[in-house]
Structure 1
Amino acid sequence: MNRVELGRSIAARRQDLGLKQEDAAEMANLTAKTLYTIERGKGNPSLASLEKLLDVLGMTLHIAIRSTDDEGARL
């Protein structure tokens, strides 16, 4: 897994929940710009920020990693 794959997984989950970037960011106490960079795989969030974001999205770090592993297996 890399940051780009993790970011895609986070963006897909947020979209599945029907959340705008701004709303998800606010719920996770992040700026919209920070969430944008995370979703593009360019951000380097702290573990605490990442855990809070994943919690807002109903994900765990294990699920996020597993999701990207599954996608890679299909390529």
Structure 2
Amino acid sequence: MRDRIEFDHHLDLNTGYSATDWPSEFVSHTMTSELPRLRDVAPEVAVPDLPDAEVLAWLIGRPTREGLPELPAWPF
């Protein structure tokens, strides 16, 4: 699988690439590692009910919408 940073930075380039364009394998793999870390460092933060790619974007500091819970700085 390509490097996580490569997928993250695609969003930063403002070329129309979004979190929903991330490969499902990347999203699944990264969510599996990042959600437990969030629960360890900020158990009071409720994970929003969003599609997995949007939750992941929120987790890594690239939220897709306003009004989501604040997070500690990533990486956790």
The answer to whether TM tops 0.5 is no
Between the two structures, name the one with larger relative contact order (CA 8 Å, sep ≥ 6).
1
TM-score normalised according to structure 2 size: 0.36
Structure with bigger helix share is 1
TM-score normalised according to structure 1 size: 0.37
